[in-house]
Structure 1
Amino acid sequence: MRSKPGVTRRGLLFGSAAALVSACTGRSAPVVAPTSAAPASSPSPLKASITIHRRHSAARGRDVDVVLMTPDGIPSTGLPVCVALHGRGSNARTFMDLGLPAALTAAVRSGTPPFAVVAVDGSHYWMPDGDDDPHRMLTDELPGWLSESGLRPMTGLLGISMGGFGALNLARLRRDVTAVATCSAALFRTWPEARSRHIFASQNDWTAAEPLQHVDELPPRGLGVWCGEEDPFLPANRKLITSAKPEVSRITPGAHTSEYWQGILPEVLRFLGPRLT
């Protein structure tokens, strides 16, 4: 099922403004997530530092957004990094509209060790598709972009829907990843299920990439799995839970929607923070 996180008019204006600044100046565009006005007696609003870099990806053959999100008031330099992979039909800015920046600030204020979340534009289940190879972008280009931004190497992965597939597939190859969290991971128990998505050129391509076909290669610790009870990918996520035996698994009310992901993000971020060693 194609994930379509909700996009508000406010979010569109916010994202467009950042892109305009970046395009006009040729530099990254620092922006602050909008917050509602709070009464004078209330705690300070949950803000976050958000910087959008426009990078050229040779692996993808196009420019992509790299969105850096950090807790309010905490410099990004030296922070552990969790890379966030979006769902099908979405992009890196989706995580801003889902409220991740404010949720990250709230998690840190509640005692979670601070960390940065970096999202980047991808496609094709984060797998190669002709000359467009988002997987190679993650393995060969993103580490350099993180270093240039003064960030530590990636040690965590967060994936929503298609991004859950990509996060698990990448974690198989990266032993330096110490925490992986998936939300409604778009996994396939059989080739007919996968073939219906028109993503994989052949059964061999799917078998080589499908996380459920390589459960023994997933990190033995630091895995968290979340899925809604009404999600069409629930059977595949149950199989992941049974086979991989994640450190944390949550099957709770909800569907394959932005509302469900917004609801679980606070718990997901609290899971990730302490494990990004």
Structure 2
Amino acid sequence: MRWGTDVSRRGVLLGGTAALVAACSGRAAPVGAPAPLSPPAGSPALTQPVTIQRRHSAARGRDVDLVLMAPEGVPASGLPVCLALHGRGANARTFLDLGVPQMLTDLVHAGARPFAVAAVDGDHYWVGNGTGDDPQRLLTDEVPGWLQASDLRPVTGVLGISMGGFGALDLARRRRDLTAVATCSAALFRTWSEAKARGVFAAEAQWQAAEPLEHLDELPPGTLGVWCGASDPFLAANRRLIDRAGPVTSSITPGAHTDSYWRGVLPDALRFVGERL
């Protein structure tokens, strides 16, 4: 099932058993039910492969989900963290629907060093839009404290899907200490007319200030991995990213802007990140 040009699928938590289903399709998600919601203060000893915390974000002016994922059977305390940024119209629980917890477990079983993935609800291509909703400030000012409260190490890698790829590259400009940046089907815009059609940026100057393709020289060197489907509507923009940024690795393989494509490439993207955390 296609999710549109930069829309990921989303999950919702239902009932006291917290069963996760894919809201866009009505099918049960391919992963087990997440752990119950934790108290607002977080838990310093995460014991479940998946923990969902409800947090108030002053930067966004609303409550958001913080989804923490770790390999099964591995104590989460003290693990390094990769931040995962979802696509437009989706939310943090998208990564549960895509099967990230099982992917982390499979990586560890294959001999990789364990790490955690943290996802949070965002919007507006993960940058501020001047309306008081600033997901960029959420990532830089609030998420670090939330991770510390859960006894996790600071974020040293970022992975983004679609709109999240835009956000991951934007974050890497501001966090040059990141050691891994992975994008899957990054929603990037080569011209103002392309960006304007999305209805996100109020003016060309705002878009130019945020557009990763306009600031590739600001990315931390030797950290970037790029994945994109050969039938993706953002293929041309991703080819420009590859040509001009010189990523450590890049992959253009059959696939579109769909959940099935992302499920196929996420294990490689997570492996890339894990090797560099």
Query: Normalising to structure 2: TM-score of the pair?
Result: 0.87
- Percent identity at matched positions? 62
Classify the secondary structure of the residue corresponding to 1:76. coil
1:110-121 correspondence runs (5 A) = 110-121=110-121
Task: Report the Cα distance in structure 2 between the residues aligned to 1:152 and 1:14, rounded to whole angstroms.
Answer: 25
**Residue pair 2:42, 2:149 contacting (<8 A) in 1 also:** no
Cα deviation per residue 1:43-101 (whole Å; 9 max; x = unaligned)? xxxxx700011100000001100000001111111111000000000000000000111
- In the other structure, the counterpart of 1:203 is 204
Classify the secondary structure of the residue corresponding to 1:249. strand
Task: Report the Cα distance in structure 2 between the residues aligned to 1:31 and 1:52, rounded to whole angstroms.
Answer: 11
Task: Report the Cα distance in structure 1 between the residues aligned to 2:77 and 2:92, rounded to whole angstroms.
Answer: 21
How big is the shift at 1:187? Answer: 0.2
- In the other structure, the counterpart of 2:37 is 22
Following TM superposition, where does structure 1 have runs of at least 4 consecutive aligned residues deviating by more than 6 angstroms?
A: 12-15, 29-32
- In the other structure, the counterpart of 2:122 is 122
**Residue pair 2:31, 2:102 contacting (<8 A) in 1 also:** no
- In the other structure, the counterpart of 1:62 is 62
Pair 175,71 (structure 1): closer, same or farther in 2 beyond 3 Å: same
Task: Report the Cα distance in structure 2 between the residues aligned to 1:12 and 1:57, rounded to whole angstroms.
Answer: 29
Classify the secondary structure of the residue corresponding to 1:172. helix
Task: Report the Cα distance in structure 2 between the residues aligned to 1:70 and 1:161, rounded to whole angstroms.
Answer: 23
Paired AA for residue 240 in structure 2: K
Equivalences, count: 257
**Residue pair 1:165, 1:187 contacting (<8 A) in 2 also:** yes
Cα deviation per residue 1:91-117 (whole Å; 9 max; x = unaligned)? 000000001110111011112211100
Pick the structure with more helix per residue: 1
Paired AA for residue 53 in structure 2: H
Paired AA for residue 56 in structure 2: H
- In the other structure, the counterpart of 1:249 is 250
Paired AA for residue 217 in structure 2: D
How big is the shift at 1:5? Answer: 2.7
**Residue pair 1:83, 1:157 contacting (<8 A) in 2 also:** yes
Classify the secondary structure of the residue corresponding to 1:204. helix
Task: Report the Cα distance in structure 2 between the residues aligned to 1:249 and 1:270, rounded to whole angstroms.
Answer: 13
How big is the shift at 1:12? Answer: 11
- In the other structure, the counterpart of 1:172 is 173
Unaligned runs of 5+ in 1: 33-47
- In the other structure, the counterpart of 1:94 is 94
Unaligned runs of 5+ in 2: 11-21
- In the other structure, the counterpart of 2:81 is 81
- In the other structure, the counterpart of 1:50 is 50
How big is the shift at 1:14? Answer: 6.8
Task: Report the Cα distance in structure 1 between the residues aligned to 2:147 and 2:42, rounded to whole angstroms.
Answer: 13
- In the other structure, the counterpart of 1:10 is 28
**Residue pair 2:70, 2:116 contacting (<8 A) in 1 also:** yes
Paired AA for residue 101 in structure 2: P
**Residue pair 2:40, 2:53 contacting (<8 A) in 1 also:** no
